[in-house]
Structures are given as C-alpha cells and as structure tokens.
Chain A
Amino acid sequence: MTNDEMHETDMTKALIVTLHDWWEAQLERPKIAKVHLIVGKFTCVEPVSLEFAFEVQTRNTFLEGATLEIQETPLIAFCHRCQQEYRPEIGIQYACPDCRSPMDDIRSGRELKIDRVEYATEGLGIADCRF
C-alpha cells in the first residue's frame, strides 16, 4: 500500500466515524443509500480512492451498500490588490497571475463537507428529495 492509499483509508475512517456519530444521534435511523460529499480541489482527498476505500470499509457496517457521491469544488483565490478572484494552477502557480501577489484568501477549494445523505425507502428504491 502506498502512502497515498493509506491516507484515503484514514480519511474514509474519519468520514465513517463522523457519520456514525451523527446517525447515532438521530431518532429514526433508516438505512442510508447514498452519502453526498463536497470535496475541494485544495485538499488531500482524491475522490476515486475515497470512493474505493468507502466501499471496502463500509462492508458489514451501518453503511453497508451505501455509495458516495462526490462533488468537487475548484480552487478559487481572491487577490486583494486586484480585487478579483482567480483560479490558481495547483502544482504550478498559486500567486495572482496579474500582479504576482501570493495566494491569500481562499474562497473555494478547502471544503471537506458531508452535504447530505439519502435514505433507502423500502419498495420505492432510493428516494431523493430536499425539503
């Protein structure tokens, strides 16, 4: 196992623990069919590895059979000098492309959020409705 894969395993473990704490605190606990995540590009989470690790690690748990749906958000920074947003090129260049100011405020890309879960409803398959 490489370091990166192990990292996803740990990240998944952390996700499952957080979900479990939340689930335990609910009055009703229907079966969870899908977990929606919002994951920023400027985090160490690799969505594909996370999905894989999630499938493996939820076997025989309250999340058995649940799938992950990951929405990625881009890295967007705000340059105070130019008063404008820009998209740094991850791995290459983070400073403002116009004035070379360093990356200061990050407006998007650091998210690691559990947005919502979908419950499995018997007979109906997956129900998905926001309320």
Chain B
Amino acid sequence: MHLTHDAALGINLLHANQEGADHNRAHFDEWGITCFNIMSSPGAGKTVLLEKTLATLSNTLKIAVIEGDMTTELDADRLRQYGVPVIAINTGRSCHLDSRMVAGGIHRLVHEYDPTQLDLVLVENVGNLVCPAEFEVGEHAKVALLSVTEGEDKPLKYPVMFREADCLLITKIDLAPYLDVDLNRIEANIRQINPDVTVIQVSAKTGQGLDQWFEWVRRQCH
C-alpha cells in the first residue's frame, strides 16, 4: 500500500474567495447588472464621488450601492438621501470587503428590491490602499481613486491596486494648485504599472472631469 505523505494542491490561496466572487458575478450577469468595486486609501473621495454619480446618473440608470464601512453607517446615510437602495456592510475589523460579505449584501438587496430592475451596483470598499484589490467581490470593473494630496509616488509604493484598476480617478484636482504636485507625473507613474488603464482627473468640488467619468460609467453598463 502506498502511504500518502504529501499532497500537491496547486490552488490559489484565495480560491474560496474567488469562487464566491464568481458566484456573485454570475448573479449580476443573470440580472443584467454591472458591478464596480471602488477602492482607494481612506478619504480619497469615494463617497463624495458616489454622491455626485447618484445625483446625475440615477435618473437614467437604476443604481444600488453596497457600502463597506468598518464601524459606522455614516457613508451609507449620506447616500440614502439620493433615494437609491443602499446596503451597509459593517466589515468590523476586516480592512476590505470580501466576496462572502458582498454576497450577504446582495442577499439583503434582493430581499427588498427586484434585482432585474437594476442596471448598476456600486460597491464602496473599505478605505485601504494596501490590497482590497486582491479580494474580488464579483465586480466587472475595478475603479481606483488617488487624491492629489496623497503624493506622486503612491502608485509606485502601492502598485498592486493600480495594476489591477480598470479606471483610475485622480481626485481633488481643485487642490493641486495649493500643493507641490504634478498631475502628469502621477499619471505617468500609474501608466508605468498599468499602461491600459483609463485615467480621469476629477474634482467633485468644482465638477471638473465628472462628465468624463459619467461617460465611462455609461459605457460599462450593458
């Protein structure tokens, strides 16, 4: 008899999470929903961007939000004012959303709303630059934000999220004149890592660049 002393696996460390993400995505596809995973370091402007997006696009697109927040419902409350379904997920000590948490959010969403009526689900991830990018949640596209106040070298130092992003928003560009920051330099640093990413410079405060962002969002929806 051959005694088995070791076993070859060759499976991804995040296999269980990936399966959950694929499952979520299959549901989205079945319902005709496009899903974005929106990521950035804390305070880069995700919630404000969502507010602007809901204010402009929720007439023409049926949007729901899944809001990951470590402790509070503050961000979710801000977004509920726009009259769209907002599911808040308390992530507790976890520093990012994973596919199981988002599955729970989807479950709660379809309990209250007919998912076939929705066009777009926006997932606001926990503010963290280190790596929500490794944990897929079932999204069709990853959107990363980098604010001008974070410095030009952030993409070089935290490259994984910037590599994985399909759309990169350089936010708070209204502040650029007050800082010693070169927007072209930021963009060049991002392109070194991810040559095909769509880069859009925006200011939620002045509205600059937002039309370009809305246009990108509309193009992704099937």
Q: Which of B55-63, B127-135, B138-146, B206-214 contacts A (4 or more CB under 8 A)?
A: B127-135
B159 and A118 form a contact (CB under 8 A): no
Kindly supply a per-residue 1/0 record for chain B positions 194-213, scoring 1 wherever the CB is within 8 Å of any chain A CB and 0 otherwise.
11000000000000000000
Report the Cα distance A116→B134, complex, angstroms: 21
**Which of A6, A102, A131 meets B191, CB within 8 Å?**
A102
- CB neighbours (8 Å) of B130 from chain A are 3-4, 7, 44
**Interchain CA distance A8-B6 in the complex, whole Å:** 26
A63 at the interface (CB under 8 A from B): no
Please indicate the chain B residues that have their CB under 8 angstroms from the CB of A39 in the complex: 13
The DSSP consensus for interface residues of chain A is: mixed
Instruction: Provide the bound-state CA to CA distance between A13 and B204, in Å.
Output: 37
- Number of B interface residues, CB 8 Å? 37
Decide if A104 is an interface residue (CB 8 Å cutoff).
Answer: yes
Q: How many angstroms between the C-alpha atoms of A53 and B131 in the bound complex?
A: 17
- A82 CB → nearest B CB, Å: 15
A128 CB–B CB distance under 8 Å: yes
Contact segment of B89-97, B106-114, B170-178? B89-97
Contact check, A7 vs B128: say whether CB atoms are below 8 A apart: yes
Separation in Å of the A126 CB from the closest CB of chain B? Answer: 8
Contacts of B94 in A (CB 8 A): 6, 10
Chain A residue contacts of B159, Cβ below 8 A: 42, 90-91, 94
Chain A residue with the shortest CB-CB distance to B14: A14
Q: Say yes or no: B13 contacts A30, CB within 8 Å.
A: no
Question: Cβ of A56 < 8 Å from any Cβ of B?
Answer: no
Smallest CB gap from A130: residue in B? B6
Residue of B nearest to A104 (CB): B195
Which chain B positions have C-beta within 8 A of A11? Answer: 13, 134
Minimum CB–CB distance from A54 to chain B (whole Å) comes to: 11
| Total residues of chain A contacting the partner, CB 8 A | 45
Contact B5 A118 (CB under 8 A): yes
Taken together as a complex, chains A and B put the C-alpha atoms of A127 and B7 apart, in Å, by: 11
Contact B5–A113 (Cβ < 8 Å): no
Q: By CB atoms of chain B within 10 A, which of A44, A102, A117, A130 has the most?
A: A44
CB pair B4–A30 under 8 Å, yes or no, is yes
Measured CA separation A30–B7 after assembly (Å) = 11
When distances are taken between beta carbons in the complex, the residues of chain A under 8 Å from B96 are: 7, 10
Contact indicator B6/A95 (Cβ below 8 Å): no
Chain A positions 120 through 131: 1 when the CB is less than 8 Å from some CB of chain B, otherwise 0 = 010000011111
Cβ-neighbour of B192 out of A15, A37, A103, A116 (below 8 A): A103
* CB nearest to A34 among chain B residues: B6
Q: Does B184 contact A (CB under 8 A)?
A: no
Collect the chain A residues with CB atoms within 8 Å of residue B15's CB: 18, 21, 114
- Measured CB to CB, the closest approach of chain A to B18, in angstroms, equals 9
Which chain A residues in 77-131 approach chain B with CB under 8 Å?
90-95, 102-104, 112-119, 121, 127-131
B160 at the interface (CB under 8 A from A): yes
In the complex, chain B residues whose CB is within 8 Å of the CB of A118: 5-6
Interfacial residues, chain B to chain A (CB-CB below 8 A): 2-17, 93-96, 98, 128, 130-131, 133-135, 156-157, 159-160, 163, 191-195
A-B contact pairs, 10 of them (CB 8 A): A7-B96, A18-B11, A18-B15, A21-B16, A102-B195, A112-B134, A114-B13, A116-B9, A128-B5, A128-B6
Further pairs besides A43-B160, A116-B8, A117-B9: 15, Cβ < 8 Å: A6-B95, A7-B131, A9-B93, A10-B96, A11-B134, A18-B16, A22-B9, A44-B131, A90-B159, A91-B156, A104-B195, A112-B134, A113-B11, A117-B6, A128-B5
